[in-house]
Structure 1
Amino acid sequence: MSQTSPSQDLLSARETCRLLGISPATLYAYVSRGLLESRPGPDHRSRLYLRQDVERLAQRQRAGRGEARGAAQSLDRGLPVLETRISLIHPDDGPYYRGRSAIALVREGATLEEAARLLWDCGEDDPFDAPVPAAWPATVAPIAGDATLPPLERAMAAFPLLALEERHSLNAATRTRHRVAATLLRQNAALLVARSPATAPVHALLANAWAPRDAGFEDLVRAALVLCADHELNVSAFAARVVASTGAHLHATVCSGLAALSGPRHGGATARAYALIGDALQSASPREAIASRWQRGDDLPGFRHALYPHGDPRAAELLVRLRDCAPDAAKMDALDALVAATEEISGQRPNIDFVLAAICHAHALPATPALVMFAAGRLAGWLAHALEQQAQGGLIRPRARYAGAAPMPE
């Protein structure tokens, strides 16, 4: 018999096994592989499972073999749909950029610009060696300098106008396109913090906007940007590739990536993780706050990643670095205790969204810089996918399997 909570429909292990047609042993295997999540039952010995997750998995099992099934699964972390040379996600080591570990790049001191050159396959060419105009065009200046606008909306409003100023926006020459991409990377960072474009490294521009003259924080931002630079065919990268496949200029692909990132299930996850941290740390017992949330069937923003069943390596790397430069040891201890309690209660480990939010909490910043770091870094990957898609050619135009009402007879 199913059991319910105020916020979610939860199923017992027996009913879950019945709906999926599996044994308890297989159910436990599904949980260990990250295909299903379990929650503590009312007697603290039994386990409960989210009905929506069980039904989604059952639907996949019922789907027939062949082309239709593969296409449907591919749209939700399923089968590969595109060939790329840009990045590889390894479940234990995190992303690799053209065969180079992103975590190793961070430890070697790489900047976002250097990661971008690798992702764009620039070779010996350095598209960042050209200066960036120090002032915004007159058509863009009122928007670019308006700090009252949200960062993503400010950037999305400015880029179409900047495209009108770029005479090489549709130039197909590889080096020219790399230089346009380099300008976009710098302009995007400046737009996100309402500053003027600069030739300084992106991490320096951002860190100076939030915590000037803090070398440890600046290096932490550098690491975060490199680890956010690309993550294979995520939602925003796919959106950028679709737009790029039409032959649109790079400014348009950047806008599509920013638009996809603005959703609460993608870039908005940093704000939800920030709120979770704040609510937990302000409660009388952070541990009980997490346990209560988990018992109700609520999700834990900033924890678990479907592609990293043993924990997000990017988050682990950033947490080590955050501990080394956190200005308030007591606050860092509280964040570490929150991570430990959440893993003990739910079995879930922090992902990149949590650590970006934790960086903001540790340095007494609002939630916005977490999203800005994500957007500033990930733009390098969007541009890589756009460049690769247009070099490969071809229009991305999948087909839909119609499931609506039958056509009416004339």
Structure 2
Amino acid sequence: MSWLTAEQALTLLGTKSQTLYANVSRGRIRAKPDPADTRRSLYFTDDVKRLATRHAGRRKTEAVAAEAIQWGDPVLPSALSTVSNGRLFYRGRDAAMLAESAALEDIALLLWDMKRPLRFEQNQARQKPPSLNAAFSALAERIMKDLPSLGRSLPALQNEAESVFDTVAEALAPGASDRPLHQRLAAAWSRPDASDLIRRSLVLLADHELNASTFTARITASAGATLSAATLSGLSTLTGPLHGGAWQSVRSLIARAAVTGAEEAVRDYLSEGRALPAFGHQLYPDVDIRAEALLRCFTLPPLFARVRDVGEQLVGERVNVDFALTAMTHAYHLPEDAPLIIFALARTVGWLAHAMEQATSGRLIRPRARYVGPPVQ
């Protein structure tokens, strides 16, 4: 095992000594007395290097973009959301604080910069479950009927965004249009006791800078495509296991823990060279504020709590929002795909906000490729 002095560790981390000591106390960095001077400590090299890599998330996105297109590039200007100092902000307002009382409809008004309440088409509650397939079909039907987004004013786009959002809401949160979406979704699942947590989740997941699905939606809108096409693009990307489908990996981890025990399950994942699902997030070096805001509002099921405790101890990272959503689903006996339904409904607001922002910029997103193929003849 390789060990570093405090000076060496601080150089790698680029932080103050207090931060180093805090990481040791939290179990993120292992330390031992220096045999040459017991008044000093040595720090485990692998732990320090891992945290140094994670702390890249603290730097400006431009710095990350210069290093890897896989995470952080390209950088696009946006006035919608940002993560700063471990907090998520929507147009400068703290998302975790908004989640204390706001509904998803309020966040739509904020992100879309609308000055009037949302107006959904009048409909009565229908006896049908929330369905991603229905959302895909409804959006696909609109694409060739709706007008392209290019060359239209922001008020015109806002009206259309409202209509597209209504289309998605009908599929993912069926119910009477005069009820808030979180209540419609809770009622559709016959779990009214989960209504407030669903509301908080929807608010916290509405937008998250240029994540994969949002970037896809912006590319689609930049070509002048319809807002429904941009939303469908985002929804398609969300289904990937590395994005909105991450809850399935959490379920697999919990299922293994139910058979072998939490510690054995976590150790098995790590010994197999697999990253522990839903632990850590590149934008939140300390804690995913969205997960924290949800987890303090309900009691973790015992098995989830054990997996969290063991995972955080062995990996040195806190659980993220995918873990929190999956735990909430289990705690409130929601359908298995509830995390993806909640994610999709919430993020539709963000996709539409970004699509409108991109469309009104009038700019096509067209990165260049760095060619690594056979030599050009």
TM-score, normalisation: structure 1? 0.73
- Partner residue, 2:107: 115
Does the 8 A contact of 2:135 with 2:172 survive in 1?
yes
Does the 8 A contact of 2:146 with 2:228 survive in 1?
no
Aligned to 1:221, which of 198, 215, 218? 198
- 2: distance between equivalents of 1:24 and 1:319? 32
Q: Give the AA of the match of 2:180.
A: P
Q: Following TM superposition, by how much is the alpha carbon of 1:135 offset from its aligned partner in structure 2, in angstroms?
A: 9.6
Where 2:168 maps in the other structure, the secondary structure is helix
Aligned to 2:159, which of 176, 179, 200? 179
- Partner residue, 2:230: 253
Does the 8 A contact of 1:159 with 1:251 survive in 2?
yes
Where 1:78 maps in the other structure, the secondary structure is coil
- Partner residue, 1:269: 246
Q: Which moved more, 1:201-210 or 1:232-241?
A: 201-210
Does the 8 A contact of 1:39 with 1:346 survive in 2?
no
Q: Following TM superposition, by how much is the alpha carbon of 1:165 offset from its aligned partner in structure 2, in angstroms?
A: 5.4
Q: Give the AA of the match of 1:129.
A: R
1:289 aligns with 2:258: no
- Partner residue, 1:243: 220
Q: Following TM superposition, by how much is the alpha carbon of 1:171 offset from its aligned partner in structure 2, in angstroms?
A: 8.0
- Partner residue, 1:341: 310
Q: Following TM superposition, by how much is the alpha carbon of 1:28 offset from its aligned partner in structure 2, in angstroms?
A: 6.7
Where 1:358 maps in the other structure, the secondary structure is helix
- Partner residue, 2:182: 203
Does the 8 A contact of 1:186 with 1:199 survive in 2?
no
Where 1:321 maps in the other structure, the secondary structure is coil
Q: Following TM superposition, by how much is the alpha carbon of 1:185 offset from its aligned partner in structure 2, in angstroms?
A: 2.0
- Partner residue, 1:387: 356
1:96-140: per-residue Cα shift (whole Å, max 9, x none)? 000111111111x10001001101111x222x134345599xxxx
- 2: distance between equivalents of 1:201 and 1:258? 22
Where 2:298 maps in the other structure, the secondary structure is helix
Gaps of 5+ in 2: 31-42, 57-61
1:97 aligns with 2:97: no
Pair 1:47–1:190, CA change in 2 (3 A): farther
Q: Give the AA of the match of 2:298.
A: L
Pair 1:397–1:284, CA change in 2 (3 A): closer
1:162 aligns with 2:142: yes
Pair 1:388–1:170, CA change in 2 (3 A): closer
1:203-254: per-residue Cα shift (whole Å, max 9, x none)? 112111223432xx10100000000000001111110001100111100000
What is the identity percentage for the equivalent residue pairs of Structure 1 and Structure 2? 37
- After superposition, residues 9-408 of structure 1 pair within 5 angstroms as 73=67, 75-78=69-72, 81-93=75-87, 95-107=88-100, 109-122=101-114, 124-126=115-117, 128-132=118-122, 151-164=131-144, 166=146, 172-192=152-172, 195=174, 198-214=177-193, 217-280=194-257, 282-323=258-299, 332-408=301-377
Does the 8 A contact of 2:138 with 2:168 survive in 1?
no
- 2: distance between equivalents of 1:96 and 1:24? 32
Corresponding pairs, count: 346
Does the 8 A contact of 2:202 with 2:346 survive in 1?
yes
Does the 8 A contact of 2:270 with 2:276 survive in 1?
yes
Q: Following TM superposition, by how much is the alpha carbon of 1:81 offset from its aligned partner in structure 2, in angstroms?
A: 1.1
Does the 8 A contact of 2:153 with 2:360 survive in 1?
no
Does the 8 A contact of 2:230 with 2:351 survive in 1?
yes
1:296-325: per-residue Cα shift (whole Å, max 9, x none)? 3221111110110101011011001123xx
Does the 8 A contact of 1:39 with 1:295 survive in 2?
no
Where 1:73 maps in the other structure, the secondary structure is coil
- 1: distance between equivalents of 2:268 and 2:370? 41
Pair 1:202–1:121, CA change in 2 (3 A): same
Q: Give the AA of the match of 2:292.
A: A
Does the 8 A contact of 2:104 with 2:202 survive in 1?
yes
- 2: distance between equivalents of 1:158 and 1:13? 57
1:55-90: per-residue Cα shift (whole Å, max 9, x none)? xx8xx9xxxxxx9x9866363333661111001112
- Partner residue, 2:59: none
- 2: distance between equivalents of 1:244 and 1:180? 13
Pair 1:39–1:333, CA change in 2 (3 A): same
